[in-house]
Structure 1
Amino acid sequence: MVSVERVSFQTDGHEADERLVREYVLPAMDRLESVDGCRGVRFSRFGRDPRYDRSEIVLGIYGDYEAVIERERSRWDELVADGLAGSWSREGPPFPDQPESVRAVQRQAYLFGSHAARTVYDLFDDPPALVDEVTDDAGRRYGMWTALHVLTNNLGYGPEGEVDAYELLLRDRLVALTEIRDHEFVRSRIDDLRSELDDLETTVDELESAGGFDYYDGPE
C-alpha cells in the first residue's frame, strides 16, 4: 500500500483558495511529483463549507512524503510569510479506517481529479458553471456537467455504469449537504428529484410510444 500524508494550508475563503491554487498548488505539482520516491500529489478544496469562517487547501502526498516535505517546507513557510496561507500543518493520512482496497481506489480517483482540474485551469480562464444558464431549443441547460459525461465516455465506461456512478455521487452529496446546509434543504431537494424522476418516466413512455429517437446513427 502506498503511504500518504496530508498537508493543510489554512486560508480566508474562496478567493484566497483560488489564489493559492493558481499561484502555488498547480505550478508545484510537477515539481513535487519529480521528487525521488514521490508517487503522486493531489489537492482538495474546502472553501465552500459555510459552517467555518476559514477554509483550507489540503495537499495529499503519496510515497516518500517525508522527502517532499523536507524539500518544500521552506516554500510553505514563505507562503505564510507572503500571506497566501494563514498557516500550514501536517494532518496525517486520509481514510485511515478504510480497507486498503478502498484507499487504493481513492488514491487513483483523487490523483485523477486533481490532474483533471489542473487541465481545466490550463485550458480556460473562466470555465462555465456546472449547470449554466445556456439552453437549447428544448430548454435543456448545459454546463460543465457535460464534460463529466464526455470524460466517462472517452475513458470507455458504459452508460449503465455512468448512471450507477451518478446515483452514488448524488447520494453522497445529498448526505454531505445535511451538514453543509441542513436536513430540510436536503428533503426539499429530494422532493425536487422525485418530481424530476416522474417527468423522466413520462419522457420514457413518450419515447416508447414514438418508437424511440435518433440517439446515434452509427458509423457510415
Structure 2
Amino acid sequence: MPDKPAPDASRRSEKSRRAIYAAALALVAETGYPKTTIESIAARAGVGKQTIYRWWTSKADVLMEAFLDLGEQAAARQGDGQPYGIPDTGDLAADLKAVLRATVDELFDPAFEAPARALAAEGVVNEQLGRQFVAKLLQPQLELYVRRLRSAQDAGAVRPDVDPRIALEFFVSPLAQRWLQRTAPISYEYTDTLVDYALYGLAPR
C-alpha cells in the first residue's frame, strides 16, 4: 500500500486562523465586544482555546489582527495594496471626494462597522490597544492623505506652508467624529462638503 501523505500542518493552521478571524468578527457584530470571549471565539471557530492562546494573548489581539486582515482582503479585491487608495488625477477635490465616498460605503458595511467601533471604544480605555489601533490601522491610512496633499503642494494646488498632517484633519476628523458619536447622518453630500470647505481654506492666496 502506498504511504498516505502527511497532513499539511501549515494549511491546517491557516484554515484555523481564518476560522478564528471570521468567528471574532461575527461575534463582535452579533453580541458586542464585552460579551465576546476567547471561549466563544474558540467555540464558533471549532478550535480549542489553547489554539487561540498559542497565537494571541487576548481577545483584543485576536480582533485587531482579524480586522487588519479584513482590510487587507478588501484592498486585494480592489487591486490596491492599501486599505484606502487615493488616486492622483491632478484634481485634488475630485480625488478626495472619491476616497471619502468609498470610506462612507465602508463605514456602512456591517462587517466593518461593528469591529471598528469595538476597537475604537476599547482603545480609549486600553492604552496598549489604543496605541496599536493608531499605529496599525489609523496611521497607514492617514499617511495616504499626507502623500496626496504633498503631491498637490508640488502641483501648486495647496499652499506650500500648509502642514498636510494637520490639513487632512479638516475632512477626516469630522467624519470620524460623526461616525463614532452618531451625532448626525453621514453621506456622500456630507463628505463632499467637507472637502469643499477644507480646500477653500487651503487654496493658494
Give TM class, smaller chain. under 0.3
TM-score by length of 1: 0.25
**Higher helix proportion (structure 1 or 2):** 2
**Higher strand proportion (structure 1 or 2):** 1
